[in-house]
Amino acid sequence: MATLESATPLSALPAGGEAIIRALQGGHDFCSRIANLGFTAGAAVKVMQNYGHGPMLVSVRGTLVALGRHEAARVMVASVA
Protein backbone atom coordinates (compact mmCIF):
# COMPACT_ATOMS: atom_id res chain seq x y z
CA MET A 1 0.00 0.00 0.00
CA ALA A 2 1.35 3.39 -0.98
CA THR A 3 2.18 5.99 1.63
CA LEU A 4 1.29 9.63 1.24
CA GLU A 5 4.94 10.37 0.42
CA SER A 6 4.67 8.18 -2.70
CA ALA A 7 1.30 9.61 -3.73
CA THR A 8 1.10 11.89 -6.75
CA PRO A 9 -1.44 14.54 -7.73
CA LEU A 10 -4.35 13.32 -9.82
CA SER A 11 -3.52 16.04 -12.34
CA ALA A 12 -0.23 14.24 -13.16
CA LEU A 13 -1.94 11.07 -14.43
CA PRO A 14 -2.27 10.63 -18.20
CA ALA A 15 -5.52 9.77 -19.96
CA GLY A 16 -6.33 6.13 -19.28
CA GLY A 17 -4.42 6.18 -15.99
CA GLU A 18 -6.02 4.42 -13.03
CA ALA A 19 -5.34 5.14 -9.38
CA ILE A 20 -6.64 4.93 -5.83
CA ILE A 21 -7.32 8.13 -3.90
CA ARG A 22 -5.04 8.42 -0.86
CA ALA A 23 -5.74 11.93 0.47
CA LEU A 24 -7.36 15.28 -0.20
CA GLN A 25 -5.34 18.43 0.39
CA GLY A 26 -7.04 21.75 0.98
CA GLY A 27 -9.43 23.58 3.21
CA HIS A 28 -12.61 22.26 4.75
CA ASP A 29 -14.87 23.67 2.01
CA PHE A 30 -12.84 22.11 -0.79
CA CYS A 31 -12.49 18.71 0.92
CA SER A 32 -16.19 18.61 1.77
CA ARG A 33 -17.29 19.55 -1.75
CA ILE A 34 -15.00 17.10 -3.51
CA ALA A 35 -15.87 14.29 -1.07
CA ASN A 36 -19.54 14.87 -1.89
CA LEU A 37 -18.65 14.23 -5.54
CA GLY A 38 -17.29 10.80 -4.55
CA PHE A 39 -13.59 11.60 -4.17
CA THR A 40 -12.85 9.85 -0.88
CA ALA A 41 -9.82 7.92 0.33
CA GLY A 42 -9.79 4.41 -1.12
CA ALA A 43 -12.00 5.21 -4.12
CA ALA A 44 -10.77 4.10 -7.53
CA VAL A 45 -10.46 6.76 -10.24
CA LYS A 46 -9.71 6.61 -13.95
CA VAL A 47 -8.57 9.61 -15.98
CA MET A 48 -10.70 9.82 -19.11
CA GLN A 49 -9.23 13.03 -20.56
CA ASN A 50 -6.13 15.03 -19.65
CA TYR A 51 -4.69 17.38 -22.26
CA GLY A 52 -2.16 18.83 -19.82
CA HIS A 53 -3.99 22.15 -19.53
CA GLY A 54 -7.51 23.17 -18.60
CA PRO A 55 -10.03 20.85 -16.96
CA MET A 56 -9.71 17.08 -16.95
CA LEU A 57 -12.39 14.39 -17.02
CA VAL A 58 -12.23 11.71 -14.34
CA SER A 59 -14.43 8.67 -13.73
CA VAL A 60 -15.08 8.05 -10.03
CA ARG A 61 -17.69 5.70 -8.56
CA GLY A 62 -19.33 5.28 -11.97
CA THR A 63 -19.71 9.02 -12.58
CA LEU A 64 -17.83 11.22 -15.03
CA VAL A 65 -16.63 14.39 -13.29
CA ALA A 66 -14.88 17.44 -14.78
CA LEU A 67 -12.21 18.80 -12.44
CA GLY A 68 -10.22 21.98 -12.79
CA ARG A 69 -6.47 21.47 -12.96
CA HIS A 70 -5.92 23.07 -9.53
CA GLU A 71 -8.64 20.92 -7.98
CA ALA A 72 -7.13 17.77 -9.46
CA ALA A 73 -3.71 18.79 -8.09
CA ARG A 74 -5.14 18.63 -4.55
CA VAL A 75 -6.33 15.03 -4.92
CA MET A 76 -3.41 12.75 -4.02
CA VAL A 77 -3.47 9.31 -5.60
CA ALA A 78 -1.41 6.13 -5.85
CA SER A 79 -1.23 4.59 -9.31
CA VAL A 80 -2.61 1.10 -9.88
CA ALA A 81 0.05 -1.17 -11.38
Architecture of domain 4-79: Roll (2.30)
pLDDT, position 6: 82
Q: Return per-residue pLDDT of the chain as tens, 81 residues.
A: 455 668 999 999 999 999 999 999 999 999 999 999 999 999 999 999 999 899 999 999 999 999 999 999 999 999 886
pLDDT at 80: 83
pLDDT of residue 3: 56
Enumerate the domain spans of the chain.
4-79
3-state secondary structure of 57: strand
CA distance 29 to 34: 9
**Is-contact 76 10, C-beta < 8 A?**
yes
